[in-house]
Structures are given as structure tokens and as C-alpha cells.
Chain A
Amino acid sequence: MAEAIRARGLEIGYELETGPLSVLGSLDLTIAEGEFLTILGPSGCGKSTLLRVIADLLEPLGGALQVLGETPAAVRARRDVAFVFQDSTLLPWRTVRGNVELPLLVGRRSLGRQITTSVDELLALVGLAELANRFPHQLSGGQRQRVAIARALLCNPRILLMDEPFGALDEMTRDRLNDELLRLWRRTGATILFVTHSIMEAAYMGQRVLVLGANPGRVKTILDLRLSKDATGHCPREAPALVEAMGRLRQELARE
């Protein structure tokens, strides 16, 4: 399979006035197209920073990064990458429909192709058909994240970056949205990078789990769960293999 992301000796961080601040260094990572990768790690280890670099919101400090075989900027300009933020980032003055349609409204000049996805179909897909004319403040947290996901899917992105998308939701809503997202992933075949703080979510959602450590930021391990899951990437929450994986993830996180 083709590579969605290929990082070699990648160093990421921020250019401050006092000089560059490295957050995560010498990162080697290859993610295949269509993979579901979850990213787990303590606060401040650079998970959001990594997604920002892949989305071309931030320049890498060093090393090489290819997204879909190209530069992150080229992929962003084509809308082959989409971002879902923890706080959903809906525009309060636009309705649900208006928010989902935002990608049709801005940045079209660089797009260079027609968007054929129907907004109505997309709204039905995330279960929001009836709420299309509501404003964001009239939605629950889970509904808001569904809108954000629908907006991200509008351009049929090949890579979907999700930064703790369900972090602020209660566990029941989160479980339901987890299953919906897996369904969307199978349907779209997109590559998903999914940051989470929840060990359960990381193990349940990911085909592989990237475990990061802080101080200094580094890759601790990549746990491959594909053998524990069926062909569609599914594995019941209470399956022994998943429980065992969660135990290993917990150990990795605790290891200095």
C-alpha cells in the first residue's frame, strides 16, 4: 500500500524569539494509506504539534516529512488533509448546514477540483439531517463534534487528523461516536491520525497505537493491534486481547 505519511529524523517544535524549542525529535514514522493510527501520550509531549506539522500549520524544525508522497503544503492546498479540533470550532453565526458548507465557501481558489459530496448526504451520514438548521449553541457536545466531522469529510480528505475530538464528551457519548467514526473510516478509506488521552479509546480505535513520552519528547513504542482485530478493524471492547493491550499501554506510559 502507498504511504500516507513518511517521517525520517523529523524534528518538530516552535520557533521562539529565544531560538527554536524542540518538542519531539528524531521521529521515524511510516503510516500506510487507509490506516487508523491512535496517538497516546502525556500532556505536553507534542501530540498536537505533530498533527499541526502534518497539516502544514507549522513548519518542521528539521528532518524530512512526506505526506502522500508530497510536501504537507501541497496536500493541504488540495484539501487532502482535514483537521478536527477538540473544541469542535464551529462558527456560532452559521447553522449546522452553514458550518458543514464552510469548505465550499473559503479557500476554493487553491482547491482546483469540484466538491461533489452532497451536504445533505453527509448530514444524514452523521445523523444530523434533522438538525441542519440549528445553530451550534442549540446542540449537545456530541452533536457539535459530529458537525465538525461532517465538515472535515466534505472534501473527501485522504488524511483526517483528529486532536482529542471526543475528549470533552461523557463516556457513553464517546463510545457511540467511536463506533460511528470507525464506520465512517471503513466507508471512506481515509487515513486517520487520532490523538487521545484515553487508553481505552486508543486501544479500541487504533490499528496501531503510537505511544509518545515527554521530557524529552520521544516515541516510546508503536503497538500493533491489527492481529487482535478482525478484517474490518473491529474488536469488542471487552475482548481479552484488547484488555491486555490496554495493560501494555498503561505500562508503557508509566515507564520512565
Chain B
Amino acid sequence: MSKPFARRWRLVLPLAGAASILLFWQFLIPAAGVPPYIVPTPARVAAVFAHDWSLLWGGFVPTLLESIAGFALGNSVAVLLAVLFVYNRRFEAAYFPVVLFFNTIPVLALAPVIILIFGLGMLPKIIIAAVICFFPTLVNMIRGLQAVSTSELELFRVLSATRAEVFWRLRLPRAMPYLFASLRIASATAVIGAVVGEWIGSDKGLGALIIQSTFNYQSDRLYAAIVVSSSLAIALFLIVVAVESRVIRYR
């Protein structure tokens, strides 16, 4: 058995790996004769951060707001609907198939529809981000709320617990790990939703920046926008993980 890495190696090695690839890229791309407007070198991308900081920031803020608002909206609706479905089987039987069908529509096909209805402001992007978060959370939350065992229900019944107590003290805490599993995914997909929305109808946000710099062959800006949007997704992910570790203190 190989010995586990010391802690500091676990941080140093991935950084060194990433640095080696960046270095390789920095020198290989010009050597291969690829023009910088097709693929920029890492140094040129870094320069965008130095010179065009306000441009990136201006794109970042709307995308951030749309992602967070979409994340909150989509997941809240999903959680509420999951509770309704779990407590009302007829309602579930009637509407779950509709939701299932809705989920099969690709988000790229749905986005123009939403833009048509809600116009060009932030709202349609928030809704697209919400839609993309919604379904995994709905499914996970339904599973989580139903993940109680017979003996747990019997325990609460012997204690004459009310329905509300069974919900708050048993079903909801049981569902938390399931909920957070989907919130982790949603933290990345919410950003995707916001960016896709901005592609289709916006002059603001990272999505708009990506489209504009592509059409203008400003590949360094394009790559910088990519870095910012993936950093945004990572940051949201880390926030979810941090909240999760506070909420789920066992295990």
C-alpha cells in the first residue's frame, strides 16, 4: 500500500500540475504558429484581468446576481413542490408527469421561449437559472422526504407526534443530505443557466461578454470570461459545501 501524501503535497501537487500545463501552453501555442486571436496565451489572458478589470467586473455582477437569484428561486420552488407531492399523492399523480415532460425540454430550446415571454432584463435569466436547478432538487427532495424508515415512523407514532412534528423533526432532517447533494450540483448549473440566458438576449453579464468577444475575435477576453464564470461556479459550490457542513454536523 502506498503511503498517503502529506497534507502540503496534496495542495502543492495539483497547483504544480496546473502550472506545468499553463507553462507548456504559454510556449507551445506561439511555437505551433496558432495566432493569438484564435487561442491566446495564458499571459495574455492574465493581462485582461490587469487591464480590463472593470469590464470583467461589469460582466460578473449581473451573472452573479442572476445565478444566486435563480438558485434560490429554483430550489425553493422545488422544495415546496416536493413537500406538496409527498403529502398529496393525488397531486403528485396529476402533476409529476407534467414536470417530467417539462424536464425533457432542453434548456437551450426553452431559453428563447422564456426570453420571449419575459423580455430582456434580468428576470428571464433568473428564470432560466431557476429552471435548470429545479428538477434535480425536486427529485432528490422527494426521495429524501420519503427516506424515513418504518420504525422511525412508528417511534414518532408511539410518542403521539403530530403530522407537523413528523415533518419538522423527522422527514425534513432526513431529507437534508439529499437536498444538499442536489444543491451542490445546482450551484454549478445555476451559473450555466444564467450564462445561457445572457447568450440569447443580453448585452450584460458574462454570457454577453463571451458572445461579444467571440464575434470580435477577442479570444483573450473570451478566455478571461470563462475563467471568471467557472470561478463563480466554484465559489457558489464552496458556499454550499460550507453551509452543508454546518447543517449536517453528523457523519
Contacts and interface: CB of A to CB of B under 8 A. Distances in A.
Interface of A: 52, 55-57, 76-77, 79, 81-83, 85-87, 89, 91-93, 102-103, 105-107, 109-111, 135-137
B151 A87 contact: yes
A87 B249 CA distance: 22
A93 B160 contact: no
Given A93-B176, A93-B250, A106-B165, A57 B157 contact: yes
Contacts of B155: 83, 85, 89, 102
A77 B154 CA distance: 13
B104 interface: no
A79 B155 CA distance: 12
Contacts of B248: 93
A91 B170 contact: yes
List of 3 A-B pairs having minimum Cβ-Cβ separation, nearest first: A107-B160, A106-B161, A107-B159
Given A57-B157, A106-B159, A137-B250, A89 B165 contact: no
Given A106-B169, A107-B156, A107-B162, 16 more contacts: A55-B158, A57-B154, A89-B149, A89-B151, A91-B152, A91-B169, A92-B250, A93-B173, A93-B176, A105-B169, A106-B162, A107-B160, A107-B161, A111-B160, A135-B249, A137-B250
B90 interface: no
Interface of B: 149, 151-152, 154-162, 165-166, 169-170, 173, 176, 248-251
A107 B166 CA distance: 10
Nearest to B168: A106
Given A52-B154, A93-B248, A137-B250, A79 B173 contact: no
A86 B155 CA distance: 12
Contacts of A82: 158
Contacts of A137: 250-251
15 contacts: A52-B154, A79-B160, A82-B158, A85-B151, A87-B149, A91-B169, A91-B173, A102-B159, A103-B159, A106-B161, A107-B156, A107-B165, A109-B160, A137-B250, A137-B251
